[in-house]
Structure 1
């Protein structure tokens, strides 16, 4: 097979990037519109919905894991690995349960706030747990976020506990996931395996008082579809993350809370007094500072790669190489 020319390699990269962006946007779009889904499962309560989500997620993820041939990694997981999976399972169950409760009790905007501040919580966890050093813009972003939470606490008349629980549970969950030697698909399957006995036991205990069998087949189908609602965005995210740089996926992550916020404000018309708008504006300013610093930091290696590529072409004008092997252009 003849080597790729610069133009064909560039076209291939553009195609990969385009497909990766499409997968990433699809994942975050689905996560962004999920507030429209959970109310469809009522009159089931939040705990019953959570139990069905866990149980049906295991069914869907088991099929996907088998199709992708990922069961070997789960079977080979060490005792320490399973301990990390168990802790991650508790955190994701808390995150899912609080989010379902928030959506079904008209706190969509507060839930969206949790995912806006999640990147900042992750930075704070890196400092506290991993002893990472903050850069000046990160200090600035956190310095803006703290008064934002204070403003919102005054506005709500309480701490925005839904936002804080969602942000902290997902932040620690992400930290634990770094210690589990499984990809996202196999990891969620393993977490579902840990949680499913509790979820199924709860549904059996509910028996006839649950809504799965007492509200018609349509309601039962909606509850069972929670497995697909969990799995499909995850698969799209995984496909996108393999095709585009992680910094790109990081920028796309804001699409989900933006859509959730818009749903809460413009569709279900949750109250947004001026003080609450001010608090959110501070959060968005903090994210703008954080994001600009992230982009600036990621551009440095790319600029170095481009400079190396120009030097290589000047020294070897007839070469079809675009960069040294150890400095790939993405």
Structure 2
């Protein structure tokens, strides 16, 4: 499936930073309108070309930014904030991108949506498809998938297709057959997913009075999030909304870390992990589709990567605020 690039690409220099800052700050007071969305508040920088009548929202975004003193002590740094994306309607950051992807699908007359998923994407897509009266087909591996997320998907009316294989096999199937099956794909190969997820870093900037932290640390599975953060930071700087770009630290699970290995070795191309495994099921992706964009994000932000074992993930997970 081919997508036309979002209209924002290459046009950020046309915007006046002070004007955008006033507009975005004004929209913070909105309640019960599309502008109350933590995605569509920034429509001018996400999808200015989409007609208002196609915009779908479940009140996504507007997630808390919390100081974590215990986590800062654990990490040995002065201060840490957590952007609590679990406060999104379906429980993950996927809602920021899915609002934009489904809205674009509606704008071109599509009502049947699809994704390959290890959990979070499936729940998010099923929720938005149900909200707009559409249908969601979710291709989910038969193993190593978060059962609670699949129950959530089913509760929203998503049609589950279980298969032997990995998330990557599901992506390959959709790339080959979505068009003939009439499916609008909402994985991160869809550029509107990346555009919507930029709103996460837009919110961080606005929450901090447009003064950025030194680092942004983000987990990496399919790598859509780090790709979106990098692109969003570039655009904030180009618009004059921020005066510097923070560095990004991308964290992968050792059992599913082909991108980290590529960066560490200085390779030019990613070598997929054919049998990824980690207890962090959302990271259990061996051939992340967004790796070229993620690499660009690291280059722009002078970022770094690291891989951690499941034991380290579980230990850090036990650290409270």
Q: TM-score, normalised by structure 1?
A: 0.23
Query: Using CA pairs below 8 Å that are at least 6 residues apart, which structure has the higher relative contact order?
Result: 1
Q: TM-score, normalised by structure 2?
A: 0.24
**Higher-helix-fraction structure:** 1
**Higher-strand-fraction structure:** 2
- Work out which of the two has the higher radius of gyration on C-alpha atoms and give 1 or 2: 1
